[in-house]
Amino acid sequence: MKHIHKYRNVLGATAIVCAVAFVLVAAFFTNRGVPAFIDYGAFLEALGEGRVASVQLGDGANVRFSFTDSGEVYTTNNPRRADFKEQLLLAGVTVTESGTAGTDFIALGITVVLVAGVIFIIQRRNGAMTAKNALNPVSVNSDPNHKPCGFEDIAGNLEVKESVGDIIDYLREPERFARYGARMPRGILLHGKPGTGKTLMARAMAGEAGVPFYAVSGSDFVQMYVGVGAARVRELFKKAREEKRGVIFIDEIDALGKKRGDGVNVNDEREQTLNALLTEMQGFSENTGIVVVAATNRPDTLDEALLRPGRFDRRVEVGLPDINARKQILTLHAQNKPLAEGVDMDKLARDTVFFSGAMLEGLLNDAAINASRRGEGTLNEADISAAYYTALAGAEKKDRSAVRQHERAVTAWHESGHALAATLTNPENRVAKVTIIPSGAGAGGFCVNIPPERMYYTKQELEQQIMVNFAGRCAEEIHFGASNITTGASNDIEKATEAVLQYVTRYGFGTSILDRAKLEDKSAIAQECNALAERLYAQTRALLQKNYAALETLAAQLLEKETLDGEDVMNIVQNATET
Ligand code: ADP
Ligand code: ZN
């Protein structure tokens, strides 16, 4: 943002210089006096009598001409006829075109000098700006607002920390990786909701590795003049290369790397900046010790060009914190605050479902402000709950929290259905994680179920996968009743439909061994698909009903803990099915 304001200043200065220039030029013309007007008929008459010496043609409403005898200059209507010039020439008149008449050379000269001067000034200021911006606010070490930080400043986000661990090792010692011929990703894309700590993570990567941190935001580039953004990108990389190592952080990369799409709203500047970025990344020699970290909360809108190998080829989701992580984030940010005896952080963690790390930090900060206003030395429960309700009201209406509780329950049962069906249908299915915390993709929650890795799947395994897809909706139906099922299953239904269709046609698992899609009319295929889906849905319902106790425990545990790992799921299912 800062940079844009600077550019506004330059623009302002330029506008003033231009205005002054125009006033000067206009004054120059005015001082020379405006020639008298003679009507066109009189002009033609003079022309016919050979009394016109010269005519100065132009685009204006009038043309200037001079008389042979007196040499005086007059104007008349500009006929704007294509053959006007020829007529004049044939009549032996000297014809000049606008701006080249001897008397206007001085005016022209002044204008040229002024315009050139203005352009020169703009370019110099831009150049200075470019270099300054690329070098100045971006290096964290020279920015007093940002002390270097490390992993200890990030609570939770364990998976993310884990998935950038190797990059940090690499940044510390690129030569070691080079010696073994290992190639590291040049770009990492962190995606997730705002305030989940993506910037913090990038900063911490640099901090952990002890390398410089350079940050820019994609949105800074959008309003720049063509060429300036690209120059800034090159400057930034040049700086990083000089230092040999570093983390280059590009926030809001979606502002730069939006899908190019239909050609509407093509933004040259964005395109050029993006190309410069890709070129620079491509230009890294292997193992330069520089890693580009980009962040976005709209990964779905990114240009594919950004995601190709050698670019941002590692993608890491930074999720909203679950109850455990929220407790840790709250504890971390409460460290420097004088909490009163008995403030219940567990309760606050429980009550802050869907809060991002930034919102939690903000909540505690508001509470601290409340406490300092009271001035009694500590931060108490009342300070926190006032801040909590302010935060809720900011996020959405308070009275929605009851609705939210119900939605959480629906999500918990839905995801428990998936997890239970995955565990029970095939012992080789591995449930890695099930959660009711929404992911960036917009789902209410999700269940990561990894089917056994195979070259081929059997007919039975395909049926099991379809059942797992159905199980979310099925659990909702069992617990909340057939008329209370929700739209939350749309993605599952899409997947199940695809799988059932493939089952009947492409794989020949149905009544025909042939690919029926190529042979038959659609209605017969649809009929068989429907019958298969009905059978598998009924099987899923029977399975979940038989293991209702396990389903219920899973849902209850999810409501309490929000996230369960594979082991938790396994234990719950085993305990509930044994008894
Ligand atoms: P993003 O880049 O994803 O929008 P930021 O990294 O800017 O989010 O996070 C903003 C602030 O929120 C951080 O400076 C920090 O105070 C707080 N925060 C977010 N996530 C965490 C976390 N996991 N641990 C501690 N603080 C966090
Ligand atoms: Zn589902």
pLDDT at 543 over 90: yes
CA of 52 to the centre of ligand 1 (A): 80
Look at residue 107 in the predicted model and tell me its pLDDT.
Answer: 58
Q: How many CB atoms are located within 10 Å of the residue 316 CB?
A: 19
Q: Is the CB of 316 inside a 6 Å radius of any atom of ligand 1? A: no
pLDDT at 338 over 60: yes
Q: How far apart are CA 197 and CA 186, in angstroms?
A: 21
pLDDT at 441 over 80: no
Ligand nearest to the backbone CA of 444: 2
Pocket test for ligand 1, best of 328, 361, 364 (most atoms within 8 A of CB): 361
Strand duo 246-251 + 213-217: pairing: parallel
Question: How many residues are there in the chain?
Answer: 579
Q: Is the CB of 296 inside a 6 Å radius of any atom of ligand 1? A: no
The backbone torsions φ and ψ at residue 449, rounded to the nearest 5 degrees and listed phi first, read -115, 120
CA of 150 to the centre of ligand 1 (A): 13
Name every residue whose Cβ is closer than 8 Å to that of residue 370 and which is 6 or more positions away in sequence.
Answer: 379, 382, 383, 386, 387
Ligand nearest to the backbone CA of 473: 2
pLDDT-based confidence at 4, cuts 50/70/90? very low
State the closest ligand 1 atom to the C-alpha of 193, by its place in the atom list counted from 1.
3
pLDDT-based confidence at 366, cuts 50/70/90? very high
Q: Tell me: the pLDDT tens digits for 260-272?
A: 655 555 567 778 8
Ligand nearest to the backbone CA of 489: 2
Half-sphere exposure (CA, 13 Å, Cβ side) for 532?
A: 26
Q: Looking at per-residue confidence, does 16 or 517 come out higher?
A: 517
Q: How many CB atoms are located within 10 Å of the residue 332 CB?
A: 18
Q: Is the CB of 334 inside a 6 Å radius of any atom of ligand 1? A: no
Q: Looking at per-residue confidence, does 571 or 6 come out higher?
A: 571
Alpha helices in 252-309, H assignment, sequence order: 268-283, 304-307
Q: How many CB atoms are located within 10 Å of the residue 305 CB?
A: 14
pLDDT at 6 over 70: no
Look at residue 474 in the predicted model and tell me its pLDDT.
Answer: 97
pLDDT-based confidence at 54, cuts 50/70/90? confident
Pocket test for ligand 1, best of 200, 201, 203 (most atoms within 8 A of CB): 200
Q: Is the CB of 358 inside a 6 Å radius of any atom of ligand 1? A: yes
Residue nearest to atom 15 of ligand 1 (CA): 358
Q: Which two tokens stand for residue 424?
A: 């029970």
Find the helix packing angle between 522-546 and 548-561, rounded to 10°.
80
Which string of DSSP letters, residue by residue, matches 130-159?
HHHHHHSTTBGGG-TT-----GGG--S-HH
Look at residue 555 in the predicted model and tell me its pLDDT.
Answer: 97
Across all residues in the chain, what is the average pLDDT? Answer: 81
CA of 420 to the centre of ligand 1 (A): 34
Q: Which two tokens stand for residue 514?
A: 């042939």
Q: Is the CB of 195 inside a 6 Å radius of any atom of ligand 1? A: yes
Q: Tell me: the pLDDT tens digits for 191-236?
A: 998 999 999 999 999 999 999 999 988 887 766 666 788 888 888 8
